[in-house]
Structure 1
């Protein structure tokens, strides 16, 4: 039996936006348990974080890299880039526009086939924080369109809200990168 196709997924964004918690919940967490204790921390030294999945009855090996430091990822050749921000932190979304999208284009601008996704994390904090600092869905989607991201997704790793939907969309994009069509969206950003 052949080895499953490997797909490299690079998560980028400011420190503390929730990238590691998202990955921990997906890779090690208990799917139905929303308690903080069910989220086992991942260690940076263990990267890439690997996960074998089946999608449309085909096996895939997903290799996740999680970093907030360009020195750690500019030598990678990812199949998918996921730009992550904290829904309760306006500066983290501003940095998507002012830093992360630019660095992504600088490092991978030669790749016209590279899907770039925008992922809002900590959705559970949207209603619990200062309304002036919280990013609402419409604004996030607009930023995703302006930065020419292929998809916009959001979730909460703590509560599990939309976690499986976001991960399913991420898997769908990852799987599509192994096909002739590729993982780019048709005609602009999709809200997932």
Structure 2
């Protein structure tokens, strides 16, 4: 979900960067803690990202009405790309809202810190190409371990979600934007 600053609560991790130029550190994420909530600031506004993982045992992903979907894969493991096309088809099948609305999709390459020379590695050019083939709206890569491009990836995700919202917050009504 993406909400305006009026709904912010203290004590949540911030992805706006640290003052000492150290990468952001994220706590261990557990399925029972979903949604995962992060505050982010860009364009002079503060947003709250609430992310739901499809593996959450307490919430089946088809019961959500997301405003943005993230397709994620491990850039060090080519096998993780195999399921993205099927996931993309499921998104189209399960989330047809009508009225000409199209659900924005962002593809994210994870574990950027593991990129080394080798046959299994997915390089950025290939990631962009696959994102285009899958008709994704954005492509990004990041590393949760090193923090490399993490804040920028969340900012891109928030920007994509914000582009889909009305002044009330949702695509059509409400005060939040769900990210699956």
TM value normalised by structure 1: 0.68
Aligned counterparts of 1:135 and 1:54: Cα–Cα separation in 2: 30
Match status 1:75 vs 2:63: yes
Q: CA RMSD in A?
A: 3.1
1:122 to 111, 119, 137: 111
Aligned to 1:161: 148
Aligned to 2:4: 4
Aligned to 2:32: 45
TM value normalised by structure 2: 0.72
Structure 1, unaligned runs of 5 or more: 7-25, 184-192
Kindly state the Cα deviation for residue 46 of structure 1 after the two structures are TM-superposed. Answer: 2.0
Contact kept? 2:31, 2:56, Cα under 8 Å: no
Aligned to 1:90: 78
Structure 2, unaligned runs of 5 or more: 7-11, 172-180
Higher relative contact order (CA 8 A, sep 6+): 2
Contact kept? 1:28, 1:39, Cα under 8 Å: no
Contact kept? 1:48, 1:64, Cα under 8 Å: yes
Aligned counterparts of 1:173 and 1:54: Cα–Cα separation in 2: 14
Aligned counterparts of 2:112 and 2:45: Cα–Cα separation in 1: 31
TM-superposition CA deviations, 1:4-62 (whole Å, max 9, x none):
389xxxxxxxxxxxxxxxxxxx9478855559xx4421221221223344432334332
Summarize the Cα distance change of 1:165–1:54 in structure 2 as closer, same or farther, 3 Å threshold: closer
Aligned to 1:55: 42
